[in-house]
């Protein structure tokens, strides 16, 4: 029997990408329902040759029976509607940050800790996009060498801020006088070291997400994570420069072999031939790409690498759909 799937926020950047990926996947979906605010209610979306009308999100529809409900809306929406849907017996996969650090709610990257979903029902949290691609790489290396410290700088695409940010960048590229509305500075030709609000300790909320989510997913609070999150004038795919210090000395060749054998990772690393991943080349794919793997010049137990992944796909929508696939494979 086919699956009934609902998407809350189905007309936004992540929700639209979820629909696109559901079309690509080999999931037997017999019914797809889309929910949104009054602003986009009534819009038509084509899915598997069927025209689907966007419905108004209400508490009553969340009490109906779904096999899976994907929440691609903000934290306020998730806080209100996810418990209603879960109490009705639905599996809810939430892309917002609201439930990520809640005890008892799994924070899942299927390739890393998907085993915790076996026989689970209720709310499942999708990690932050930057956390996902980083932990994809950290997890297998942590199992082998034990990670002591992470220093990461992110270079994050504007699509992480939604359709309005993409529009703003494109207009500023054509008109240098076009004003900034989404960001604190003009993004075209610029880098902004400010994503989300600042905490009293000087770190942004985006940066602290990477710290706490990494600890929860890897189940290890001893790892020191020091992040700097930067918005850059790229439309799709986040990039990360990552420094890793291990508990024992890593072997670079072995590191490459470990990553090459890890599901969901592609190693693209041959400096002699200028081979390394970039946002343009990795956009619209579901893999996490790794390059520039090299030992630290002064610390024998450390190395650096470069990680790139499509933030709307593996960083959000694809990871959520992979959660569905993981649960279905357990049946």
- Give the E-state strand segments of the chain in sequence order: 3-8, 29-36, 44-47, 50-53, 55-56, 68-71, 91-94, 123-125, 147-156, 224-231, 238-246, 265-267, 288-295, 302-309
User: 130-311 belongs to which homologous superfamily?
Assistant: Dihydrodipicolinate Reductase; domain 2 (3.30.360.10)
| Residue 38 pLDDT | 86
| Residue 37 pLDDT | 87
Name which of 203, 209, 262 is nearest 228 in CA terms: 203
Q: What stretches in the chain show pLDDT beneath 50?
A: none
Where along the chain do the CATH 3.40.50.720 domains lie?
A: 3-126+316-330
CATH T-level assignment (fold) for domain 3-126+316-330: Rossmann fold (3.40.50)
| Residue 292 pLDDT | 98
Name which of 65, 60, 42 is nearest 52 in CA terms: 42
- Residues near 295 by beta carbon (within 8 Å), at least 6 away in sequence: 250, 252, 302, 303
- Residues near 309 by beta carbon (within 8 Å), at least 6 away in sequence: 132, 133, 136, 237, 238, 282, 287, 288, 289, 315
Distances from the Cα of 143 to the Cα of 146, 223, 255, 263, 265, angstroms = 6, 13, 12, 15, 16
DSSP code of 21? H
CA distance 313 to 286: 6
Q: Within 10 A of 102 (CB to CB), how many other CB atoms are there?
A: 12
Name which of 10, 62, 69 is nearest 327 in CA terms: 69
The answer to whether 34 and 45 are in contact (CB under 8 A) is yes
| Residue 207 pLDDT | 98
pLDDT in tens, 100-151: 999 999 999 999 999 999 999 999 999 999 999 999 999 999 999 999 999 9
Kindly state the tokens that stand for 115. Answer: 């085993």
| Residue 331 pLDDT | 87
Report, as residue numbers or ranges, the catalytic residues. 129, 238
pLDDT over 70, % of the chain: 100
CA distance 91 to 93: 7
Backbone dihedral angles phi then psi of residue 20, each to the nearest 5 degrees: -60, -45
| Residue 171 pLDDT | 98
Where along the chain do the CATH 3.30.360.10 domains lie?
A: 130-311
Kindly state the tokens that stand for 268. Answer: 């693209």
| Residue 298 pLDDT | 98
Question: DSSP assignment of 285-323, as one string?
Answer: --PEEEEEEEE-SS-TTEEEEEEEE-TTIIIIIHHHHHH
């Amino acid at each position: 029997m086919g699956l009934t799937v609902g998407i809350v926020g189905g007309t936004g950047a992540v929700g639209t990408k979820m629909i696109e990926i559901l079309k690509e996947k080999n999931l037997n979906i017999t019914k797809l329902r889309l929910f949104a605010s009054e602003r986009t209610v009534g819009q038509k979306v084509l899915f598997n040759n069927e025209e689907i009308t966007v419905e108004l999100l209400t508490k009553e529809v969340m009490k109906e029976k779904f096999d899976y409900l994907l929440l691609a809306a903000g934290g306020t929406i998730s806080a209100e509607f996810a418990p209603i849907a879960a109490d009705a017996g639905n599996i809810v996969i939430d892309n917002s940050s609201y439930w990520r650090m809640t005890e008892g709610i799994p924070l899942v990257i299927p390739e890393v800790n998907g085993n915790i979903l076996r026989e689970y029902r209720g709310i499942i949290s999708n990690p932050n996009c930057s956390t996902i691609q980083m932990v994809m790489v950290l997890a297998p290396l942590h199992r082998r060498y034990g990670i002591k410290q992470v220093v990461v700088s992110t270079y994050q695409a504007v699509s992480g801020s939604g359709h309005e940010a993409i529009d703003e960048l494109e207009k500023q590229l054509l008109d240098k006088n076009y004003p900034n509305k989404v960001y604190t500075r003009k993004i075209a030709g610029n880098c902004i070291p400010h994503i989300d609000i600042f905490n009293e300790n000087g770190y942004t909320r985006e940066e602290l997400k990477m710290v706490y989510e990494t600890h929860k997913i890897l189940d290890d609070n001893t790892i020191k994570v020091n992040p700097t999150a930067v918005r850059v004038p790229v439309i799709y795919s986040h990039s990360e420069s990552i420094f890793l210090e291990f508990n024992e000395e890593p072997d670079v060749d072995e590191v490459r072999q470990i990553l090459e054998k890890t599901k969901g990772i592609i190693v693209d690393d041959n400096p002699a031939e200028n081979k390394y991943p970039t946002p343009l080349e990795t956009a619209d794919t579901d893999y996490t790409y790794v390059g520039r793997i090299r030992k630290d010049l002064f610390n024998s137990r450390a190395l650096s690498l470069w990680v790139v992944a499509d933030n709307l796909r593996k960083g959000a929508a694809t990871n959520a759909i992979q959660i569905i696939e993981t649960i279905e494979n357990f049946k």
